[in-house]
Structure 1
């Protein structure tokens, strides 16, 4: 939960303890650390319960001496809810439950308002589910979400299941926001799983995204994908409402872990929303990712953005210092996120990409191997080859070795992509830098391509001499048919010396 939202929840609970009807009267506290507000509330509770501890313990012991029915009548008619709440922690749990079963739900609800769950957890856990449901109904009839939130973490699952139907989607949002122990939220979500779409829709329709975002911040990692995909499945208006609320609350640190867990299709739907494309929103997202430890959670979203928005994010990333950029790339590499990092790098300007390619991390053989492997696995050749082109020549041997590890299908995909772009020279340079066996493999693959014309056409008047010279150096390794085709293509481009180097004119005459 964001510090501000956590503080709001804590001041709301503190207002109840202090008998303040309007929690906003304590708004002057919301800039304090939430833990400090909670600590003050717990100490105040302890003072209230401990000041007469000896006397209360004596009263509790006396309850053992009379029948349950009499104890219940004394509790309701003589003690009242406040004194009963104070005594409860000193009563043996089984005895307390027997007494509670004979009391009206309305009275038990009034006691629950005053009780301290820390002192009565054993009693609360033993309350029968049917009785929990009745008390919950009484509390919700008075709109008392604070008391409900204070008890959820000590109520067993059967009792929670009994009480869940009493709660509306809005009730669940408010109770979740006021939970005493946020680790209980995942158990609650498990119980009301079929109602999650309604809860998310209620957050949007009732302008309760503060409560909803608090829940998103509290759920365990294994539930993020499910919740994120559910939200995306509710349509654009719900997503737009969520995005606007997150922007207003500056809660991107909460939402980015959710979006990064979404399925491919759900994340695409999110990234396509115009609300995400506004520069102030993109700036806030990127700054949160770079400055608040959410870089790896930005990458999946960035890879789904339209070109202009991706370029905006890439420019902000490129503005980082060399040391910082090197660190970010190493993080992406360690996390195996080159499939998302490559599109970001491609969206940079040529000068930014050359700067990135010159960083120490990009000379690391393991990193280069990860780039090629990820490129092949995710078919990102069209995006990766411009980045590879910017790498210094010293990386060519390592890249050549990586190319040699590709399957024939992956290598063919690389050749075809290069043939359809202006990066054919990059791939040829790397491929022919392999050991003889690797070169033979590449040359044979090109020779047997069904669409070899695409490859030949990719060799243009602008193809660097280095590419033709590379072919000439391995002339004797090139299959005869391919060698003839390369020589003819060189002549078409008015490069007779390259044609001769590949296949002397006398050879064609024969």
Structure 2
């Protein structure tokens, strides 16, 4: 999930700074955890050194009724400044004022609220208002802001919100969640029928978001998502593989394919995309870089013969260090039965190189 997580974190930083995500393309090579920490530092830099004027305004709002403070926020401050002031108030007071504001104004302000203040404010807001604001955010297409909030919403709110938002919104918000550990619970709240519709919607250009969600869950839930994806029409499934190849997302796809049944994995293996030499050329470097041989080899075994030969030639052309790492990983996981068909398809020169590797010499010794 690392590449997709890094991408999501980069988009969040760009939103915080009001810039185009493309300006932060240099972050793509960093681990997601590092980019997440950078986002947290960005939040602190933006909100911890707020002008003293905001504290004066916040103190002034305590002297007037919540309705008056709401009117001032709407007429005099505007969404951005109102959100900044709300971040300086006690959560209960901020909630009292928000309750008096139009939903559209609140939804627009949410994008500017200090993310660290969200949990406290949400805990003090009326359930009905949270539902209305969530739906308004969905209608605005503000998935990044929804991603900040959804992890703090009560089950009773989520159960009411989910039927009112599109499958696309669910995918985009799940991808952008600041609290991905909440995803498994939200998926359970959705139910099987809705999950199937959400996965189906990924074919409309949202396969990366679906892969990010599948990578964030484990066990039976990952298997459910993987199976639903594998049973989409072949043209849609082929589109998934080509998207993965174009964006180099093999590290996200292969662990998902690995949990499929043999029958569903066979469906993936015979896709037209996995007969395309250009697509297959990217698989081996990705598997080497991520040490995903245990996840890839069962799929390799089911590929058409010409595809297996293409993969074998690519593997045989790897540098000695990468081949040795492959051999040691195979030995550690006891995958020799799966890897030998790969070696058998290599040319004689590649076979000789492999058998002379330190890993093979150590094993022979």
TM-score by length of 1: 0.60
Partners of 1:323 and 1:27 in 2: how far apart?
A: 34
- Deviation per CA, 1:53-88, whole angstroms, max 9, x where unpaired? 544334434444444444444444444433331122
Is 1:363 matched up with 2:360?
no
- The Cα offsets for residues 381-434 of structure 1, whole Å up to 9 and x where unpaired, read as xxxxxxxxxxxxxxxxxxxxxxxxxxxxxxxxxxxxxxxxxxxxxxxxxxxxxx
Query: 1:172 Cα shift?
Result: 2.0
Alignment partners' CA distance in 2, 1:67 and 1:52:
25
Query: 1:296-375 counterparts in 2 under 5 A?
Result: 296-320=294-318, 325-348=323-346, 359-363=360-364
Contact 1:315/1:348 (CA < 8 Å) preserved in 2?
yes
Q: CA deviation at 1:259?
A: 1.4
The answer to whether residue 26 in structure 2 is matched with residue 31 in structure 1 is yes
RMSD: 3.5
Alpha-carbon offset, residue 329 of structure 1: 3.2
State yes or no: 1:219 paired with 2:216: yes
Distance (whole Å) between structure 2 residues aligned to residue 75 and residue 319 of structure 1 = 65
Deviates more, 1:312-321 or 1:229-238: 312-321
Q: Distance in 1 between matches of 2:242 and 2:201?
A: 15
5+ residue gaps, structure 2, are none
CA distance in 2, matches of 1:39, 1:90: 23
1:151 maps onto 2:149 in alignment: yes
Q: What SS does the aligned partner of 1:329 have? A: helix
Q: Give me the whole-angstrom Cα distance separating, in 1, the residues matched to 2:216 and 2:364.
A: 39
Residue matched to 2:237: 239
* Mapping for residues 30-69 of structure 1, pairs under 5 Å: 30-33=25-28, 46=44, 49-69=47-67
CA distance in 2, matches of 1:41, 1:327: 34
C-alpha distance in structure 1 between counterparts of 2:94 and 2:72, whole Å: 13
Q: 1:270 aligns with which of 264, 268, 271?
A: 268
2:282 alignment partner, SS class: helix
* Aligned CA distance change for structure 1 residues 44 and 290 (closer, same or farther; 3 Å): closer
Counterpart for residue 195 of structure 2:
196
Q: Is the contact made by 2:9 and 2:35 (CA closer than 8 Å) also made in structure 1? A: no
Q: Does structure 2 conserve the Cα–Cα contact (< 8 Å) formed by 1:276 and 1:282?
A: yes
Contact 2:14 2:24 in 1 (8 A): no
CA contact (8 A) 2:95 2:124 kept: yes
The CA distance in 2 between the partners of 1:183 and 1:125, in whole Å, is: 19
Contact map agreement 1:89 1:119 (CA 8 A) in 2 = yes
Give the direction of change, closer, same or farther, for the CA distance of 1:187–1:17 in structure 2 (3 Å limit). Answer: farther
Alignment of 1:57-206 (within 5 A): 57-194=55-192, 195-204=194-203, 206=204
2: CA distance, partners of 1:238 / 1:210:
13
Contact 1:132 1:162 in 2 (8 A): no
Larger Rg: 1
Structure 1 pair 117/291, CA: closer, same or farther in 2 (3 Å)?
closer
Segments of 5+ residues of structure 1 without an aligned counterpart are 365-510
Q: Is the 8 A contact 1:129 1:163 kept in 2?
A: no
When structure 1 is superposed on structure 2, of 307-316 and 238-247 the one drifting more is 307-316
Structure 1 residue 272 displacement after superposition: 1.5
How many residues matched? 357
